[in-house]
């Protein structure tokens, strides 16, 4: 199964323990993880169009759309506070 991997940042620094949600094209919740100490995350998704929603309390929120085809997708999500 393809992976959606990435880095979440806040104010240019890695955002440790940030939330990252995977939502389908209708905005329905499909999964959630927290970033590690270096701000990295891994989600697994079947091919299709997905929305990533990330936030860290007090540090902002961001949304990012991704298209998963057959392989892994790597993204950076800067939080806007």
- pLDDT tens string 14-47: 999 999 999 999 999 999 999 999 999 999 999 9
Q: Is the dihedral of CA 11, 13, 27, 24 positive or negative?
A: positive
Catalogue all structural domains in the chain, each as residue range(s) with its CATH number: 3-70 (2.60.40.1120)
Of 10, 38, 11, 7, nearest in space to 20 by CA: 7
pTM above 0.85, yes or no: yes
pLDDT at 70: 85
Q: Hey, how many other C-beta atoms are within 10 angstroms of the C-beta on 61?
A: 15
């Amino acid at each position: 199964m393809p992976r959606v991997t990435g880095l979440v940042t806040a104010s240019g620094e890695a955002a440790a323990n940030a939330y990252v949600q995977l939502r389908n094209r209708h905005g329905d919740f499909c999964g959630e993880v927290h970033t590690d100490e270096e701000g990295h995350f891994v989600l697994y998704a079947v091919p299709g169009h997905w929305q990533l929603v990330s936030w860290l309390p007090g540090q902002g929120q961001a949304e990012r759309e991704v298209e998963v085809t057959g392989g892994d997708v790597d993204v950076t999500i800067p939080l806007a506070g």
